[in-house]
Structure 1
């Protein structure tokens, strides 16, 4: 028995030696100057998974700025939206949310059904909204990015890069700062159920302000994280993590390197950083969900054990969770006034002007934090 155990151990070690830890895309950017502090495979095309919803949100913000929708526009769950694969909101066909609540549920819970419902509501159908997403990507100069759906469910043709995700995130922050609190919300309560964010930095890494996580087998575990600490505002992109622990700890480590000064500007900005033209996106499916997954994850753990049982962690802070309450409007007909007036209350967000929000240039040093003129979101009153 002892000999057999030793043999198994030797075989496992041999397998690990044959599958070295993979260096996946990582990027660290100073959000005030756009300076690149660290870059590893930042231009490599990658499947975005639910990081797609960053662009879904951006297009929705643009539609509001253009006056084509408001935060009170009803977003109805169609049969097509209901049939999207998880993660989902739990809403039935025909149920509705305000666009504001839908944005919270989509970005915090990463609800694929709500992302599809937003697309159908604002553009008439999925194809029309995807066209708006790709047009925005073109205007931003996201040369490695192409969208085929609004929620990030896997499609081989849906791709982006760490560089493009950083630029997109900076556009959101610069053009629509009033919506940034959505990305920093840890959970949403809907119909009595608490829908949790997968961004665990929000509750375990001080200064985290957002933004989004994503996962499909072909992408591994992805993250865009933003942190505001000690006067520094940093953005980290991690793609292809082997586990949530791997992704979260790598993001925290990268940000700490920037805060400590060990990661310094390399002479490039995120705008001058290049993509890899013509390269195919990496398919992580065999390593994440296939027969090689167990061996691959073990190799990644051996190379980067932070956060494993008995090992130190970068995620040791206790941060109070920010919660939001969304309201299921039930089955309503679009265009029909609600049967009761809303209670008088201050708006959660100020309406952005088209001139300020749709400025096509991304500018270093542009203030992008909520000012006194932009009220911080409050919970919706209970009816």
Structure 2
């Protein structure tokens, strides 16, 4: 069994020079966390669902509670994007299709784009705001534009989930704001991400974009790997109290194509660092294929989704977060981090097209013109012969004809 040197941490004490396998290390961390939570008086401790997949072979490299039902939060927007990509492929919409902020969209809870009611952006710009800013108003506006209504779009989301074989997944809205019926799993989220990349690789640059500018606003992605872990190519983060902090991340590095899912983090730091740790363990040869495809992973169908609200936003949150820091201190101040690179974030600029009104009656056509007066006799043009206009020469103008426009790609 491959061994790795580990520096453990528990309540300020550092244990060095211990040799552990990856599986033993994870087990020890869980035991330490359980002890800390017990001493803190917390009655529940949920291990983070985690999944690492080789995107080239679909082989599972690590799976921990990958089939446990979980609230996806804004990871939902991966499916919102995928359904939209399908409609673009069908030609029912284009990237130039206007997406307007309805009152329903405007009334969504943050995170939001800041656009006013009736403001409009192109569908392409809307997709960037959806993925990078994770704007909930934009998610609803896209759903209404692409599906005709938010409800119709959600039907498409669930139909697509069924086609993908996502047996733990049910969507109630296109943005991921909490609803107890909005459920997925690490396994199902990994499969959505794989479908996006394999079916619509032309849209992958959206997921690796770190900043979207809209007017004077500058929206940065919450995916810390984009600026701290070389080779990161996306994809999406999410958070509500009931889910904790979630991430789906993809990395292309050293000839490897990897995908990680981490659910239920107690902080953005923990979520990002855990994903980076999975990647590094695989890149270092410490995680090997398990012999199982991500498609064959079983979901815990019938199980209730874990509700992290008491531990993330409730009375137990302070103790729980402290316990998670003690059990996994990577990235804390004065502690080592897996996110050590300083990478420039790619940027995209979206444009507010203003208000585009629809349903307004056009003016009636004018009646045909009936002249009242007789036309005067035609006037002959003055002959200019060979007389040149000022500024011209006898050779005439030598103006290049416009070149044909390149074909649309």
Q: TM-score, normalised by structure 2?
A: 0.78
2:205 equivalent among 181, 195, 198: 181
Match of 2:384 in 1: none
How many Å separate the matches in 2 of 1:156 and 1:230? 41
CA distance 1:195–1:150, shift in 2 (3 Å) = same
CA contact (8 A) 2:37 2:45 kept: no
Per-residue CA distance 1:142-175 (angstroms, 9 max, x = gap): 0000000000000000000000000110000000
SS in 1 for 2:213: strand
Match of 1:377 in 2: none
How many Å separate the matches in 2 of 1:202 and 1:335? 43
CA distance 1:307–1:21, shift in 2 (3 Å) = farther
Matched, 1:97 2:121: yes
Match of 1:26 in 2: 50
2:174 equivalent among 139, 142, 150: 150
2:99 equivalent among 75, 80, 99: 75
Match of 2:285 in 1: 261
Match of 2:315 in 1: 291
- Unpaired runs of 5+ residues, structure 2, are 1-35, 361-403
CA contact (8 A) 1:63 1:69 kept: yes
Report the aligned-residue RMSD: 1.9
Match of 1:202 in 2: 226
Match of 1:372 in 2: none
Match of 1:193 in 2: 217
| Corresponding pairs, count | 331
Q: CA deviation at 1:104?
A: 0.1
Matched, 1:54 2:78: yes
CA contact (8 A) 2:78 2:192 kept: yes
How many Å separate the matches in 2 of 1:167 and 1:13? 33
Within-5 A mapping of 1:98-117:
98-117=122-141
Per-residue CA distance 1:353-377 (angstroms, 9 max, x = gap): xxxxxxxxxxxxxxxxxxxxxxxxx
Match of 2:352 in 1: 328
SS in 2 for 1:223: strand
Q: CA deviation at 1:273?
A: 0.6
SS in 2 for 1:62: helix
CA distance 1:47–1:345, shift in 2 (3 Å) = farther
Q: CA deviation at 1:200?
A: 1.1
CA contact (8 A) 1:44 1:279 kept: yes
Moved over 4 A (4+): 17-21, 344-347
Q: CA deviation at 1:22?
A: 3.5
SS in 2 for 1:271: helix
CA contact (8 A) 1:183 1:211 kept: yes
CA contact (8 A) 1:19 1:299 kept: no
How many Å separate the matches in 2 of 1:128 and 1:13? 44
Q: CA deviation at 1:345?
A: 8.9
CA contact (8 A) 1:185 1:321 kept: yes
CA distance 1:260–1:87, shift in 2 (3 Å) = same
CA distance 1:325–1:335, shift in 2 (3 Å) = farther
Per-residue CA distance 1:248-279 (angstroms, 9 max, x = gap): 10000011111111011111010011100100
Match of 2:236 in 1: 212
Q: TM-score, normalised by structure 1?
A: 0.84
How many Å separate the matches in 1 of 2:226 and 2:189? 19
Matched, 1:276 2:300: yes
Match of 1:306 in 2: 330
How many Å separate the matches in 2 of 1:237 and 1:14? 27
- Unpaired runs of 5+ residues, structure 1, are 1-11, 337-343, 351-383
How many Å separate the matches in 1 of 2:358 and 2:266? 43
Q: CA deviation at 1:14?
A: 7.0
How many Å separate the matches in 2 of 1:243 and 1:304? 11
Q: CA deviation at 1:320?
A: 1.0
Q: CA deviation at 1:15?
A: 3.6
How many Å separate the matches in 2 of 1:233 and 1:13? 36
SS in 1 for 2:63: strand
